[in-house]
Amino acid sequence: SQQGEEDPQALSIQEGENATMNCSYKTSINNLQWYRQNSGRGLVHLILIRSNEREKHSGRLRVTLDTSKKSSSLLITASRAADTASYFCATDRTGRRALTFGSGTRLQVQP
């Protein structure tokens, strides 16, 4: 079963603009992670935010978590063509010792 649902499913922006992706989930979590996948490749970890954190930054990435709404957002600032990829949220929910991934957002950054 899919724990997370990303929104939008696809996003196309111009280089230099900001990209915001949202993730909603259904059950209580211990933490939430974001991963990136280039087409036809494996996933790469971007950032982890714990359930007791509300915001976290890493370089051009900013992640927020609202456990009351069971949602998270990933903001990529000053996007580059190289940011073109699919982005997935993954939750580490209570009682399950493996990550559950959402359906992903496909980001296209036009040069």
Partner 1 sequence: DGGITQSPKYLFRKEGQNVTLSCEQNLNHDAMYWYRQDPGQGLRLIYYSQIVNDFQKGDIAEGYSVSREKKESFPLTVTSAQKNPTAFYLCASSIASGTGNTIYFGEGSWLTVV
Which parts of this chain interact with partner 1 (CB under 8 A)?
A: 1-2, 4, 30-31, 33, 40-45, 48, 50, 88, 92, 97-104, 106
Residue 10 C-beta: closest distance to partner 1, Å: 9
Could you count the other beta carbons within 10 Å of the beta carbon of residue 21?
25
Residue 77 C-beta: closest distance to partner 1, Å: 23
Residue 7 C-beta: closest distance to partner 1, Å: 13
* Rounded CA separation 38/61 (Å): 17
In DSSP notation, 83-100 reads G-EEEEEEEEETT-SS-E
